[in-house]
């Protein structure tokens, strides 16, 4: 997930702090005079320190809070062209701007687990049979089959559609075609002929990234020493 953080940051290597540089200030490298007071203050305070610019890398930004929460602490990778760094941005209160610090290292992010929402899936299929009732044993078997199928899907092979708004560590992906076809085949062994039209309609209507068969992909991040 890409957050609206700046791509260019002015870094003090002695203090480990950063200042995001506005695009107009980036022109300072070409001889233009910056006018932002925060920029001028940062330069003055760290005038005798080892300073330089860092450039963010990639699109990934991690947060410890939901995407909509302005109090979330953010982490993203950056580099000075020679060494990798991890930038941490946080704020103490909603009234304050984020402060930026950095440390030498690599932010390794990988998709580690594929999940489905069991309760929503179970409730949705059960509702498909209203006013009839689907036997709980068949619901249990259906959920078990779904779990078995997705357990063989490599998390890193999925094409992410969007990030979950309620959990910054979760992304959402469409179930791959081959997995969906396997689910169709195995469901014919679970449900009776009179049940199949309702089941097949439920599967067809919910196979997209916005449906109940959507796969929830959990990301895991590790800070590695450079």
Establish if 3 belongs to a structural domain.
no
Bridge partners of residue 132, in order along the sequence = none
Establish if 72 belongs to a structural domain.
yes
Question: Both 215 and 140 in a single domain?
Answer: yes
User: 36-68: b or e for each residue (b if 16 or more CB lie within 10 Å)?
Assistant: eeebeebeeebeeeebebbebbeebbbbeeeee
Question: Both 93 and 124 in a single domain?
Answer: no
| pTM score | 0.64
Establish if 1 belongs to a structural domain.
no
Write down which residue in 104, 123, 140 finishes a domain: 104
Question: Both 69 and 32 in a single domain?
Answer: yes
Question: Both 175 and 92 in a single domain?
Answer: no
Query: Would you state the pLDDT for residue 166?
Result: 77
Question: Both 146 and 100 in a single domain?
Answer: no
Write down which residue in 104, 139, 159 finishes a domain: 104
Query: Would you state the pLDDT for residue 37?
Result: 82
Which residues are CB-contacts of 46 (< 8 A; sequence separation ≥ 6)? Answer: 12, 14, 15
For the stretch 72-119, pLDDT in tens is 888 899 999 999 999 999 999 988 888 999 999 988 777 678 999 999
Question: Both 146 and 214 in a single domain?
Answer: yes
Question: Both 118 and 187 in a single domain?
Answer: yes
Establish if 30 belongs to a structural domain.
yes
Confidence of residue 3 (pLDDT cuts 50, 70, 90): very low
Confidence of residue 25 (pLDDT cuts 50, 70, 90): very low
For the stretch 114-165, pLDDT in tens is 999 999 999 999 999 999 989 999 999 999 999 999 999 998 889 999 888 7
Establish if 149 belongs to a structural domain.
yes
- Highest mean pLDDT pick, 14-28, 81-95, 201-215: 201-215
Write down which residue in 104, 125, 144 finishes a domain: 104
Residue with the two structure tokens 């995407």: 67
Task: Classify strands 51-56 and 74-79 as parallel, antiparallel or unpaired.
Answer: antiparallel
Establish if 2 belongs to a structural domain.
no
Question: Both 92 and 115 in a single domain?
Answer: no
Number of domains in the chain: 2
Question: Both 87 and 115 in a single domain?
Answer: no
Domain that holds residue 133: 111-223
- Is 80 exposed, middle or buried (CB count within 10 Å of its CB: 0-12, 13-18, 19+)? middle
């Amino acid at each position: 997930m890409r957050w609206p953080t700046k791509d260019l940051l002015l870094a003090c290597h002695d203090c480990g702090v950063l200042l995001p540089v506005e695009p107009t200030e980036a022109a300072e490298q070409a001889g233009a005079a910056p006018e932002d007071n925060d920029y001028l203050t940062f330069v003055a305070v760290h005038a005798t320190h080892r300073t330089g610019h860092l450039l963010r890398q990639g699109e990934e930004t991690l947060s410890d809070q939901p995407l909509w929460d302005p109090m979330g602490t953010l982490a993203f990778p950056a580099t000075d062209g020679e060494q990798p760094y991890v930038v941490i941005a946080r704020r103490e209160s909603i009234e304050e701007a984020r402060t930026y610090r950095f440390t030498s290292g690599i932010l390794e992010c990988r998709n580690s687990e594929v999940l489905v929402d069991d309760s929503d899936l179970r409730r949705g299929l059960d509702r498909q049979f209203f006013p009839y009732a689907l036997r709980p044993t068949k619901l249990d078997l259906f959920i078990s089959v779904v779990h078995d199928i997705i357990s063989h899907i490599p998390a890193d092979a999925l094409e992410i559609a969007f990030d979950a708004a309620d959990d910054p560590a979760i992304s959402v992906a469409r179930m791959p075609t081959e997995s969906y076809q396997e689910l169709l085949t195995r469901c014919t062994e679970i449900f009776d002929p009179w049940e199949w039209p309702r089941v097949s309609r439920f599967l067809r209507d919910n196979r997209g990234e916005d449906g109940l068969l959507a796969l929830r992909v959990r990301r895991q991040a590790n800070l590695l020493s450079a």
